[in-house]
Structure 1
């Protein structure tokens, strides 16, 4: 068959993160010992009380379809969470439960973006927000997050890039890949721009619980006039170490929820019933698990940031959120695409080239410190030895 694949598939770029991961796994199968800093996956087990809730729900026979929108129990729990933690009042009917955050991203964008619509997306940023609009025939327009600006949004750049075709703007805070957290004054000005120009905000807040030092997460939907023009995306993967459970959600107007559900019900029907029960328990019965995780992440972050900045030729900002360090390698005279494969082959340390997240990451590599403290120490040691070797 001459034309087997749809032309839209040409717009999709394979995951650069998974490319590194597959190479690292192949090296391990060959007997190498690789330190994994490439995946954004918590290394902690899912808390026991969440696993037990799921198991008990299966034993009770809760193994059937739920409402396409998600169980009312889970939507009520999410609404409670958004009110108590994010200061935003949502009704359960303004929430739709998805199979992971990734599904919510696709469904939401498919629901609001027409061919030719423009959507402003961060550079660097998670590339789903570039790939999905392209697949839909929409036009992603990138805005830059620069290290010298502490990865805050340049509001003048946003104003300059808004056109009559601008339909939406994507926020990721805390950021993947930089670990930056958007400041309150930036969010307030951004809200004014959105209102003035009638722009929807797609706010990815999946890393909101992973904050360090004095960092504060603010949901833009909580600002005056913003709830009705914000689609808040979140999930359970990062805060509760539930990456394999595939549970996320979108919170927005009831009109948007109903429209998103038209696609959601045809693509996945619903999230797994017993996983939704686990989500309820995660939200309502949390004790110290998340706080303990964050405390350990901060210990690893503090060590890694200090160690990296002591390596001649490397530098990095101290991230205030998430579990990533965006390492500047410009002084080595190499791009991330050149450096990362050499680091993996020679030092057996897996990191991701920064330009996987956009052109602004060309001279960076991303390190995920979602690995044990011992591996963070060993990985930084190997990184130092490798850089010293190539600079000789």
Structure 2
């Protein structure tokens, strides 16, 4: 039988990150010891108080559908968090929706904002969903550059030149995946002015906001004058609270947008798991020093990894201000980023992601996650050193 798969799926390439991960897992099944620096998954267990809240909720019988929008208790907790930490006041009943992870929220939001032929400004490099999903929806992702020499800040002149009468929205991700760059206050203020001037919606992905270092400050563009009504803020629990498997995210936006997002959300997932939402309430309201301890350990790993990588011939990387990734410049090698990742995986048993996965500007870079133990990261560095030494012998450095 011939299976006639929709041709739309040709616009949606497989995840480059998962491709590396699957190959790494196969090597592990064959008995190889692989150090995983490819997956953006915290290696910490979910804090105990969150797990207990989930178990308690199940034991109390909270195992049924909730409101499509999410439990009012969780939406109120999210609204409290956004007002206290991000300085934005949202109505929990009309301006917040709970999603099944951030990935669902991204699809829902793009689906309701974009029509066929619309243009959306997307950073390059960026998490691939923002590049691929608009294409699936018949829209056009127009990329703007995040460059190492600019410390991965936006070039406002470049962005303004790319705005047309078809531009519907713009995506910003801060802290950024894969670069670890954090947008500065001045950059965001100028961008807000640009959004108002051109009557443009902003989609602000802030899922890494709590993983930030060196006195850097996360700022939500929705908190700036005139921006709440033209901003969709996306966030979730996966990265900050080490809850990747719990699949819990949220959208905060003006009421008409939330109502539209809910139409898509109803048909896709109905609601997030009831007992997981109870865990989300606990995460927000009962947090003590768990996140600070995790971030302190991330910083220790980051400092070590950046210092060591910059001593390896052909490697160069900046100190990321946020997230748990280092973005390594490997343009000195006469190999593509994909070829380098393949070599490091097969010969050094270190899994990394080629920058080409994240857009055209990603070629010549590798993304390494330091969401792994300090000991594993130290071992990975030693393996990479040996691999590079062999590449030097083979004349693979330009």
Partners of 1:230 and 1:333 lie apart in 2 by 42
1:237 aligned partner? 238
Contact conserved, 1:235 with 1:249, CA < 8 A, in 2? yes
1:13 aligned partner? 13
1:64 aligned partner? 64
Q: Could you tell me how far 1:2 is from its partner in structure 2?
A: 5.4
Query: Matched residue of 1:391: which SS?
Result: helix
Partners of 1:214 and 1:149 lie apart in 2 by 20
1:43 aligned partner? 43
Contact conserved, 1:332 with 1:391, CA < 8 A, in 2? no
Matches within 5 A, 1:377-392: 377-392=378-393
2:396 aligned partner? none
Q: Could you tell me how far 1:303 is from its partner in structure 2?
A: 0.2
Deviations 1:148-197 (A, max 9, x none): 00000111110110000000000000000000000010001101111110
Partners of 1:202 and 1:219 lie apart in 2 by 11
1:164 aligned partner? 165
Deviations 1:318-359 (A, max 9, x none): 000000000010111222111000000000000000010001
Partners of 1:275 and 1:131 lie apart in 2 by 29
Partners of 1:262 and 1:324 lie apart in 2 by 35
Partners of 2:275 and 2:116 lie apart in 1 by 37
2:150 aligned partner? 149
Q: Could you tell me how far 1:3 is from its partner in structure 2?
A: 6.6
Q: Does 1:100 align with 2:101?
A: yes
Partners of 2:126 and 2:367 lie apart in 1 by 12
Deviations 1:55-98 (A, max 9, x none): 01000000000000000000000000000000101110200000
Partners of 1:244 and 1:366 lie apart in 2 by 22
1:202 aligned partner? 203
Partners of 2:392 and 2:157 lie apart in 1 by 39
Deviations 1:94-122 (A, max 9, x none): 00000000000000000110000000001
Partners of 2:17 and 2:167 lie apart in 1 by 29
1:262 aligned partner? 263
Matches within 5 A, 1:114-193: 114-193=115-194
1:89 aligned partner? 89
Deviations 1:2-57 (A, max 9, x none): 57111211100100000000000000000000000000000000000000000010
Deviations 1:225-257 (A, max 9, x none): 000000000000000000000000000001100
Query: Matched residue of 1:331: which SS?
Result: coil
Per the normalisation by structure 1, the TM-score is: 0.99
Partners of 1:11 and 1:53 lie apart in 2 by 41
1:213 aligned partner? 214
Q: Does 1:4 align with 2:27?
A: no
Matches within 5 A, 1:291-306: 291-306=292-307
Q: Structure 1: which 5+ runs fail to align?
A: none
1:80 aligned partner? 80
Contact conserved, 1:237 with 1:247, CA < 8 A, in 2? yes
Residue-pair matches, total: 392
Partners of 1:108 and 1:226 lie apart in 2 by 17
2:52 aligned partner? 52
Partners of 1:143 and 1:127 lie apart in 2 by 14
Per the normalisation by structure 2, the TM-score is: 0.98
Partners of 1:156 and 1:3 lie apart in 2 by 48
1:321 aligned partner? 322
2:366 aligned partner? 365
Partners of 1:236 and 1:162 lie apart in 2 by 33
CA spacing shift, 1:382–1:96, aligned 2, 3 Å:
same
Contact conserved, 1:324 with 1:368, CA < 8 A, in 2? yes
The CA RMSD measured in Å over matched residues stands at 0.7
Query: Matched residue of 2:282: which SS?
Result: helix
